[in-house]
């Protein structure tokens, strides 16, 4: 029996030693985020993407480990095939590896981080998404490579920050309450006293004029926005959604009596009717769970006309929500801007939003005005940003 074990032990070691060597592996820390979504601004400064090689083993390496970094188009194709995507490879002309090799020193667990420098301006299309796979390999046999985390797949979205979009100050002192575009001819808002204010647009001067009061006595309204064409919808403090018809220029408004034009009753006042933009027969209410409920209405906005559908997406992640044409735009607390495409065939919005911008966190209110955006700063200055659908994605 003793002889048997004497012969068996060396045989076991032949199997154990290679396994132990293989357990000493190198990986990319960033590869654990699959994919690694990053934003690249279309400006002259460029953006950087970091990658870091890490050692994994029972103990620190007993000698230096040289690692190499590369970008392989075949990795991008394999990723697309596996995930059912079609991201194009980031054009070679716009990126460079700051570090194509590094050393994990003896006794250390990581190498110095490298950076990919990406210059988007002149190379990338606004709101397009690209892929860039960065892979680590080991020179020699000092360690293996962890196949699960050897490549970081950067999914890069090219966006414009507000400063990259032409803008113009269009009102010097917009007070701090919500406003919205009415028929893309003026702005309407309610002040704290319940006065309905109208800011007329001067096309020649490209500015809004001082507000005029077109109605009073609307203090029972919690939120107001445009409904269908020439229509405003309002949620009152009794939980009812009411609609009122105005003239196309909103030069006058009917008195509020609390009952006329009632479509819904018994709603929680935390619900938020969302302005419908170009949806002339669709009432939308963001419920307390963050979902968007869509109700088909008749042309006069006085009764249901079907259908009723729900977009199952937690829209509470947005601090601001508004419509751009028929699509919906949301802005998060961190200032990222996302767009949800409208599908007229089933009256729903895409739950897979596309990021179309960053840097909007300092504005207290943002809304659409025609094909442009209006953004109010905390100091009251109102800016008009010259947006157009080409800055977004292939929506139509």
* Rounded Cα gap, residues 68 and 66, in angstroms: 7
Q: Average pLDDT, stretch 317-334?
A: 88
* Rounded Cα gap, residues 361 and 293, in angstroms: 27
Any alpha helices (H) in the chain, and if so which ranges? 2-22, 73-83
DSSP 8-state secondary structure symbol assigned to residue 255: P
Helix (H/G/I), strand (E/B), else coil: 76:
helix
pLDDT of 396 above 50: no
Q: Which CATH architecture has domain 163-391?
A: 5 Propeller (2.115)
**Residue 276's pLDDT is what?**
65
Query: Would you give the distance in Å from CA 37 to the centre of its chain?
Result: 11
pLDDT of 55 above 80: yes
Q: Are strands 25-28 and 144-145 parallel, antiparallel or unpaired?
A: parallel
When comparing pLDDT for 312 and 249, which is higher? Answer: 249
Q: Could you tell me the pLDDT band of residue 13, with boundaries at 50, 70 and 90? A: very low
Q: Could you tell me the pLDDT band of residue 162, with boundaries at 50, 70 and 90? A: low
Q: Which of 34-38, 287-291, 322-326 has the lowest mean pLDDT?
A: 287-291
When comparing pLDDT for 59 and 298, which is higher? Answer: 59
Q: Could you tell me the pLDDT band of residue 3, with boundaries at 50, 70 and 90? A: very low
When comparing pLDDT for 283 and 96, which is higher? Answer: 96
Give the neighbor-by-neighbor strand order of the sheet with 363-369.
167-171, 382-385, 372-377, 363-369
* Rounded Cα gap, residues 247 and 259, in angstroms: 20
State what percent of residues in the chain have pLDDT above 70.
Answer: 86
Residues 275-309 pLDDT 10s: 666 776 677 777 777 888 777 777 777 777 777 77
pLDDT of 389 above 60: no
Chain-wide mean pLDDT for the chain? 84
**Residue 182's pLDDT is what?**
93
Surface-to-core class of residue 239, CB atoms within 10 Å of its CB (0-12 exposed, 13-18 middle, 19+ buried) = middle
Helix (H/G/I), strand (E/B), else coil: 269:
coil
pLDDT of 124 above 60: yes
Helix (H/G/I), strand (E/B), else coil: 299:
coil
Helix (H/G/I), strand (E/B), else coil: 14:
helix
Q: Which of 49-58, 174-183, 221-230, 358-367 has the lowest mean pLDDT?
A: 221-230
State what percent of residues in the chain have pLDDT above 90.
Answer: 44
Q: Which CATH architecture has domain 25-159?
A: Sandwich (2.60)
Q: Are strands 292-297 and 342-343 parallel, antiparallel or unpaired?
A: unpaired
pLDDT of 181 above 60: yes
pTM comes to: 0.64
**Residue 287's pLDDT is what?**
76
Is 135 in contact with 68 (CB distance < 8 Å)?
no
Q: Which residue has the tokens 């997406």?
A: 313
| Six-digit token string for 328 | 């919906």
Q: Hey, where are the domains in the chain?
A: 25-159, 163-391
């Amino acid at each position: 029996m003793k002889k048997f074990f004497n012969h068996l032990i060396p045989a076991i070691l032949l199997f154990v030693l290679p396994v132990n060597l293989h357990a000493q592996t190198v990986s990319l820390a960033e590869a654990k985020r699959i994919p690694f979504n990053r934003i690249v601004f279309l400006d002259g400064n460029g953006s950087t993407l970091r990658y870091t090689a890490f050692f994994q083993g029972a103990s620190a390496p007993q000698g230096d480990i040289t690692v190499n970094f590369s970008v392989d188009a075949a990795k991008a194709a394999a990723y697309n095939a596996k995930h059912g995507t079609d991201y194009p490879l980031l054009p070679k002309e716009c990126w460079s590896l700051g570090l194509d090799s590094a050393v994990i020193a003896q006794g250390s667990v990581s190498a110095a981080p490298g950076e990919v420098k990406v210059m988007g301006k002149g190379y990338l299309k606004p709101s397009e998404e690209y892929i860039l796979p960065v892979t680590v390999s080991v020179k020699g046999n000092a360690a293996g490579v962890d196949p699960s985390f050897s490549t970081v797949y950067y999914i890069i979205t090219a966006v414009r920050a507000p400063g990259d979009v032409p803008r113009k100050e269009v009102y010097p002192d917009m007070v701090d309450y919500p406003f919205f575009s009415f028929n893309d001819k003026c702005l309407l808002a309610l002040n704290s006293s319940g006065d309905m204010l109208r800011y007329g647009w001067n096309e020649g001067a490209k500015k809004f004029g001082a507000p005029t009061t077109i109605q009073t006595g609307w203090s029972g309204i919690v939120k107001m926005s445009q409904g269908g064409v020439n229509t405003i919808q309002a949620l009152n403090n009794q939980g009812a959604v009411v609609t009122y018809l105005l003239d196309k220029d909103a030069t006058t408004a009917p008195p509020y009596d609390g009952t006329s034009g009632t479509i819904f009753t018994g709603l929680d006042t935390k619900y938020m009717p969302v302005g419908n933009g170009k949806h002339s027969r669709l009432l939308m209410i963001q419920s307390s769970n963050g979902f968007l409920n869509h109700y088909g209405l008749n042309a006069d906005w006085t009764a249901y006309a079907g259908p009723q559908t729900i977009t199952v997406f937690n829209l509470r992640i947005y601090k601001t929500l508004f419509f751009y044409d028929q699509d919906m735009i949301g802005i998060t607390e961190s200032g990222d801007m996302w767009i949800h495409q409208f599908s007229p065939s089933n009256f729903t919005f895409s739950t897979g939003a596309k990021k179309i911008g960053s840097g909007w966190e300092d504005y207290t209110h943002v809304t659409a005005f025609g094909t442009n955006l209006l953004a109010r700063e905390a100091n009251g200055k109102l800016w008009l940003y010259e947006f157009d659908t080409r800055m977004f994605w292939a929506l139509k």
